[in-house]
Structure 1
Amino acid sequence: MVAVRGRRLHRHGAGRQVERRLLHRRVRAARTGLGIWRPALRGRAPPLPRHPARRDRLAGRLRWLRAARVPGDLDGLVRHQRRLRPRLLRGWPRRAPAAAGHQRALQPRPLSLRELQFHTHLDVPHKYQSWPWSWLLLGRPVAYAYSEAGPCGAGHQCAAETLALGTPALWWAFIPALLVSCWQWIACRDWRPAAAIVGAAAGIVPWFAFPDRTMFYFYALPALPFLVLAVTFSLGLVLGSESANRDRRLVGAVIVGGYVMLVAAAFGFFWPIYTSEILTFGQWRARIWLNSWI
């Protein structure tokens, strides 16, 4: 109704007034929402609308919030944040000198400089450190926990480990998929794999600039979605285009489906060492394919 009325008034030269009224209504609605939710989060009774039907409907919506009240003193948390903010902003010039036109100065915080210096000069050796060239090869995954506590059967040595290891059937396909994507992008001038290549490179290549820094396998996680996109694009090429004949599509579907089932089976096989399930030592060793995974 409001939209129809707005179009009618706009025809008569009053469109700006309608837009202004709609904007005021949205502002009032936003203020009303803030006025209702803030007291509710603090455990106080929120102000309800005057209309009985709206009051009952809003009270029903807020009933779950009152039942699941946030633990702790929210007001105290707000006061603590207000006391902490000056400490975090200490040393920051709020505005540039008068000669610069009173614009905000784009100077880094002292705390940020210390953090940058720490992370660029972190070279303490670690047992599970690795380098970017080995991440896609699963050269050195990170073990978060290991235990030999049982039970796992009489006469068996037990092993339970939480290992940050990617599914080999998927991760070992990343490099071939990236090569195929690069070929399609450069030789065939297909722009679709460019997003996967650029995203994967942005997540891994910058780490080559710090060869002496202590790095770990999970630093490659930001590039993981783009690597999966590269594999997906390559599987699409194997599947074939819509214009391909039926036999070509059938063979491609069998290959793609078989590979997906292989990845799922590999994930299930390695699931016990992802979740610290208690295994016998022989079962655990059967999942440690490379000595660098120990």
Structure 2
Amino acid sequence: MTQVTDQRATTPFGAVSSWSSPGPLRPPPDIGPTDRLRGWLVTALLTAVAAVTRFTMLNHPTDAGSPVFDEKYYATQAWQMLTGGWVEDNPGYGVVVHPPVGKQLIAVGEALFGYTSWGWRFSAAIAGTVLVLLVIRIVRRMTRSTLIGAVAGILLIADSLTFVSSRIGMLDIFLALFVTGAFGCLIVDRDDVRARFARVAAEGRIDVTAWGPRLGVRWWRFGAGLLLGLACGTKWSGIYFVAAFGVLSVYFDLSARRSYGVRLPWLGVAVRDIVPAVYALVVVPIGVYLASHWAWFASETGVYRYMPGNPSAPSDPIGTDGFWSHIPDALRSLWYYNARSMEFHTQLTNSAGNHHPWESKPWTWPMGLRPMLYYYADTGVTGCGGSQCVKAVMLVGTPAIWWIAVPVLVWMIWRSVVRRDWRYGAVLVGYGAALLPWFATIDRQMYYFYALPMAPFLIMGLALTLGDILGRARPDTIPRSAAGAFVTTRRNERRSLGLLVVCLYLGLVIANFIWLWPVLTALPITPSAWHNQLWLPSWR
């Protein structure tokens, strides 16, 4: 008689499952969270709260009715796009050094509300609101918990870095939205791939070939490629996420093939997965990036539109013959346009004498040690109840969130490396793509708003950590013994204490956000209240 052994497998979410088969261990079926209606109701409620915070006093402040800080570039360029055929045609009109997608989105708001503060900030507020929705759904999917998804949403609503960035007509909020959306698509694609493997395994077809089955068309990964293309079409730093998410997607595929007992998983990835991944996450973004310049290609007056053979080229004129002459002139002109933009960025260095009083370096970003002052006025300001009033908008991360970034990152690394928790590893990939590449160009002039794409991933990691503190819900069962009753009581008390800690922390975050509200929205305050908001010497 054959002896059947009891094998135990750990699911991706930590639950232990029993198997009574001598065959290879495979993940148990995972249908995800079943409270769909409640999940969407919670998502809708928190997204509505986010919208209220982002749109309240959106038209305030302005510089005598004109844009503030770097809005002066993007609001103006967006208006020129709107009134000039969706293309920038005058390099002297502003610093034309970024791709067009973000400015086109700002122009949509200006088309609705005109050249007003509502106009040039409307699209950013929409993006900041949708970003909250995305983070809620992504965390909910990764944790299979509507509660932890809601915790992530509350944290992002109260994150003052994303809050201020959602209320100013600049590009970074769009970059953060697109890369977060691409990350979410890859998380859904991971679940979809494993569901396909489960069906193949149930049909007994895993071992048909040594490298495993084909996975078919993967529309979620294709969607990630589209969003990454839009990210690159907003700012070139989107390329960092193209590389990072490409590696992450291939790792997800390798992990799935190994989990389902494919005999040669590495060969399976090489044969089945790498080429489709390159198409979806490299070729598609390149195509989207080129397509984002549609108006420029169609124009007669776009910046650097006709450069081959143009003797007025500022530098390095493009000839009409030579090795590259077989490439269409339009693409050669676009290459020239991008090269001039890159030249601007590479020359904007400290060693070349370019300094800004509010610049910061990437080692200060994880804890938000060097914020930015977007707006400040102390002349003719009234309404604070004192003889002198000031107004300010400071881009600063909520300290209750950002100041614990280092221990949260340590916990994330430990969970990824030691406990092999894929969720933390995936979030770290996104966080690292937003931070680490900037260390390669440390001489470049940098600002804290470059850290905005880090914020959603910090929030995700923090929500996962709070989920670990909260602990897993235990089913209500009747213990069969006194020992069982003791264990059940200990587990219930452990979760109750975890819930208390999480609630107290969320209360602290919300209180901290409310405290900062005046310097996030330019409310009139007294000079002493202003100085009370400057907690660190580096904030001054």
Q: 1:153 to 1:259 in 2, by over 3 A?
A: closer
Matched with 2:338 is: 112
Alignment partners' CA distance in 2, 1:287 and 1:87: 46
Q: 1:239 to 1:168 in 2, by over 3 A?
A: same
Number of residue pairs the alignment of both structures matches: 219
CA contact (8 A) 1:173 1:231 kept: no
What is the CA distance between 1:128 and its match in structure 2? Answer: 0.4
Amino acid at match of 1:219: Y
2:374 to 141, 144, 154: 144
State the TM-score, normalized to the length of structure 2: 0.37
1:263 to 500, 509, 515: 509
Amino acid at match of 1:287: Q
2:299 to 82, 106, 130: 82
What is the CA distance between 1:87 and its match in structure 2? Answer: 5.0
Structure 1 unaligned blocks of 5 or more: 1-67, 72-77
Matched with 2:348 is: 122
CA contact (8 A) 1:146 1:160 kept: yes
Matched with 1:293 is: 539
What's the secondary structure of 2:394's corresponding residue?
Answer: strand
Matched with 2:276 is: none
1:212 to 440, 443, 459: 443
Amino acid at match of 2:377: S
Q: 1:152 to 1:222 in 2, by over 3 A?
A: same
Matched with 1:192 is: 423
What is the CA distance between 1:118 and its match in structure 2? Answer: 1.5
2:529 to 276, 283, 288: 283
The within-5 A match list for 1:36-51 is: none
Alignment partners' CA distance in 1, 2:296 and 2:368: 47
CA RMSD of aligned residues (A): 3.4
Alignment partners' CA distance in 2, 1:192 and 1:97: 48
What's the secondary structure of 2:390's corresponding residue?
Answer: strand
Q: 1:103 to 1:81 in 2, by over 3 A?
A: closer
Amino acid at match of 2:415: Q
Amino acid at match of 1:221: L
Q: 1:224 to 1:69 in 2, by over 3 A?
A: closer
Structure 2 unaligned blocks of 5 or more: 1-110, 115-294, 309-317, 475-487
What's the secondary structure of 2:522's corresponding residue?
Answer: coil
Amino acid at match of 1:116: M
Alignment partners' CA distance in 2, 1:121 and 1:175: 32
Matched with 1:131 is: 361
Q: 1:181 to 1:242 in 2, by over 3 A?
A: same
Alignment partners' CA distance in 2, 1:143 and 1:226: 24
What's the secondary structure of 2:393's corresponding residue?
Answer: strand
Alignment partners' CA distance in 1, 2:414 and 2:393: 38
What is the CA distance between 1:156 and its match in structure 2? Answer: 3.6
The within-5 A match list for 1:156-195 is: 156-195=387-426
CA contact (8 A) 2:386 2:526 kept: no
CA displacement, residues 143-172 of structure 1 (integer Å, 9 cap, x when unaligned): 111111332467643221111111111111
1:251 to 485, 497, 500: 497
What's the secondary structure of 1:145's corresponding residue?
Answer: strand
Matched with 1:235 is: 466
CA displacement, residues 14-70 of structure 1 (integer Å, 9 cap, x when unaligned): xxxxxxxxxxxxxxxxxxxxxxxxxxxxxxxxxxxxxxxxxxxxxxxxxxxxxx999
Q: 1:242 to 1:80 in 2, by over 3 A?
A: closer
Amino acid at match of 2:371: P
State the TM-score, normalized to the length of structure 1: 0.65
What is the CA distance between 1:110 and its match in structure 2? Answer: 1.1
Q: 1:144 to 1:173 in 2, by over 3 A?
A: same
